[in-house]
Amino acid sequence: MLSISDNLQIQGTVADVLKAIIAISANSSDAGVIGPNALSRELVSETTITRILDYMLDPDAPFSTASLTNGVSLIIELIRKNNR
Per-residue pLDDT of the chain (84 residues; tens, 9 = 90+): 556 677 888 889 999 999 998 888 877 777 777 878 888 889 889 999 999 999 889 988 888 888 899 999 999 998 888 765
pTM, entire model = 0.81
Q: Where are the alpha helices (DSSP H) in the chain?
A: 8-24, 38-43, 46-56, 64-81
Instruction: Determine the residue type at 84.
Output: R
